[in-house]
Structure 1
Amino acid sequence: METRLEELQRYEKFDDLANDVLDLAKEILPEQLFYLSVFSHTQQFILKLSNERTNIHITEGMVVDLNQSVCKRVDFEKNQPLVYEDVNKDCSIDEVKKLLDGVNVQSYLGIPISLTNGEKFGTLCAVNDEASLLDKKSIDLLQRIVKLFSYYLDLERFAWKDMLTELYNRRYLTKYFEKYQHQNGALFFLDLDGFKKVNDGYGHDTGDAVLKVVASRLQMIVDGQKDAFAVRLGGDEFILHFSQTNSKQEWDKIANQVVKAINAWDTPYKVSTSIGIVTYEEGDAVSLSNLLQHADEALYHAKSFGKNTFKFFNESKINGERC
């Protein structure tokens, strides 16, 4: 959830457009309370409300367990809204009635917001503390507004994401350091070993497939860490960034996990990774360019050690080389 919310903060004019969406929605159904929400794998976050209503217990910034959310029941696969003009009459599911009654909602309209790749983003919802007429024309207009909003989300996603792997791109990494450069963290600079042989021997389509698999494995690793994200710099170079403080032993554990994950292939070709690692602390006068340079030096050192391993910047001198 934090990563998705941080991503939205970097979207150009997101707040302005979200407010415009809610304002337009209110023009169509002025008696309703509207809200925009975003999903993670396990939670729903209420991003913005059209206005506050003390008698409806939904607030901006509210976090809801997705399993306890009515919005989870919206049909994203068929892109169809969930409509209850009168919950007591229209809804036959006791659990849903209980959830809506808990926030004092008697009418509910939930419209799915999805990206073009099929990924669920969240919902635009209209609620009221009394039964409401939710006519088809109004719902159709709201769906068109949501469609335009999803186009905007896709444009922003393309600006911050690598098109092939769906990981973040260099621009996202740069923007992140502009805002959070004074925190604690570590940067893992990865370069794939044996990738050129895959491209030369099996073709670029296979090479692209390998990059997607690597990206998926890296994403799984950062999903298991607090405040972490993965970046594709370009080609077969990747960055893992962690916003946390660990001991060297803990960084070793994560690095070994990465090496093991990338090295697992049930294919005729084999790909591994070499990693250069640089850590930094709050108060250090660091810049992204310096961190990348130091991590690149450590990466070179890892490759000189036979690849499929990792080295830290400023580790012991070996063979007279400084890393």
Structure 2
Amino acid sequence: MMTTFQELEMYKNFDELANDVLDLAKEILPDQLLFLSSISDTQQLILKLSNNNTSIVVTEGMVFNLEETLCNRIDFEKKQPLIYEDTMSESSLANFKDTLENANVKSYLGIPISFVNGDKFGTLCAVNDEVTRFDEKSVQLLQRIVRMFSYYLDLERFAYKDSLTDLYNRRYLSTFFEDNHHTEGVIFFLDLDGFKKVNDLYGHDEGDIVLKEVARRLKAFASEHEDAFVVRLGGDEFIIHFPYMSSKEKLAEQARRLLDSLSTWDAKYRLSASVGIVTYPKNCTIDVKTLLKHADSALYQAKTAGRNTYKFFES
């Protein structure tokens, strides 16, 4: 999952620290174009640039197909830098030759940035329109800078992520609404039917396995909808937020698909889910606490209607 601008905007002092990282890197490699990027399994997002005064056309906010980037070749497991001092003479880059020529990239240095648990964040890269010799000391200094930056990223991540499921937490949801109160959206508030019995019969470790699997399914579901995200409020309570309003019919179809995705389990688990749905218009004056109260009321109606169903909040 790629770290987005939306998430980074919540990180305290991200812009300042990212600029400091690039400034320090620029002191070490003054002739290079340097940038920080975020990486997912399929894409690379350019987050910050050292400058734009270069013949290499790269801008903040650009998104690349990861398979078409040199950063895709970086070994994140070994946390080793990837260096091409003369890209045009590298036989291993034969398939990239046209792309590199069009981008005017003659040299490349990519340093992986990971979270402490090993998850990818992205890269610190140095590119040039001329052949460059990267000395070992400079590369080692850049690796030290990246290591310090990764500690900062981890602290911010822990502030907004649930430690068990790696979903966003309640604090992220509150901050999101503080920063996006003028937009419209939809909240699906759900919990699991029968989860207490899992804990009672098989123990909390087994319950944690179920919650992680629910998180995986919810993230897969949310990924089908642009800019949707998932929050674990606590226990077996989750939120899916959609930053747009659809017709009631379309929302009902989404809810049915969501319920289907959460109703298939190993025979020993008798699990399903119930969902409460609340919508809110642009420039809504209701705060997130009240919206969650409304969604919880709709969830309660779904529970009393027999579970494994959904209900809309009706004011």
TM-score tier, shorter chain, comes to over 0.9
- Unaligned 5+ segments in structure 2 are none
Tell me what 1:265 maps to.
Answer: 265
**1:206 counterpart = 2:239:** no
Displacement of 1:80: 1.4
Matches within 5 A, 1:121-132: 121-132=121-132
Q: What letter matches 2:128 in structure 1?
A: N
Distance 1:271 1:38, change over 3 A: same
Distance in 1 (CA, whole Å) between partners of 2:79 and 2:309 is 46
Question: Residues 116, 45 of structure 1: CA spacing in aligned structure 2 closer, same or farther, 3 A cutoff?
Answer: same
CA distance in 1, matches of 2:134, 2:91: 15
Deviations 1:128-179 (A, max 9, x none): 1111110111111111111111111111111000000000000000001011
Report 1:49-198 matches (<5 A): 49-198=49-198
CA distance in 2, matches of 1:60, 1:310: 41
Q: Deviations over 1:183-238 (max 9, x none)?
A: 22111111111111111110000011111011111111110111211000011111
The separation in 1 between residues aligned to 2:119 and 2:181, in whole angstroms, is: 30
Structure 1 residues 147 and 267, CA gap change in structure 2 (3 angstroms):
farther
Q: What is the CA-CA distance between 1:17 and the residue it aligns to?
A: 0.6
Q: How far apart in 1 are the matches of 2:60 and 2:274?
A: 44
Matches of 2:267 and 2:147, distance apart in 1:
41
**1:193–1:271 CA contact under 8 A, matched in 2:** yes
* Cα 1:240/1:211, change in 2 over 3 Å: same
Report SS of the residue matched to 2:4.
helix
User: Which residue of the partner structure matches residue 294 of structure 2?
Assistant: 294
Q: Which moved more, 1:90-99 or 1:282-291?
A: 90-99
TM-score normalised over the length of structure 2: 0.96
Provide the rounded CA distance (Å) in 2 between the counterparts of 1:273 and 1:182: 31
**d(CA) in 2 for partners of 1:67, 1:89:** 21
> Bigger CA drift: 85-94 or 186-195?
85-94
Q: Any conservation in 2 of the 1:26–1:50 contact (CA below 8 Å)? A: yes
Provide the C-alpha distance between the structure 2 equivalents of 1:58 and 1:130, rounded to a whole number of angstroms: 16
Aligned residues: CA RMSD: 1.6
SS at match of 2:207: helix
Query: Do 1:105 and 1:129's aligned partners in 2 also have CA atoms closer than 8 Å?
Result: yes
Aligned residue type for 1:146: V
> Which stretch shifts more, 157-166 or 71-80?
71-80
For residues 163 and 30 of structure 1, the distance between their equivalents in structure 2, rounded to whole angstroms, comes to 39
Q: Secondary structure at the match of 2:231?
A: strand
Give the CA deviation at 1:91.
4.6
- In the alignment, structure 1 segments of 5+ residues that lack a partner are 315-322
- Give identity over the alignment, percent: 59
Measure, in 2, the Cα distance between the counterparts of 1:22 and 1:3: 18
Aligned residues: 315
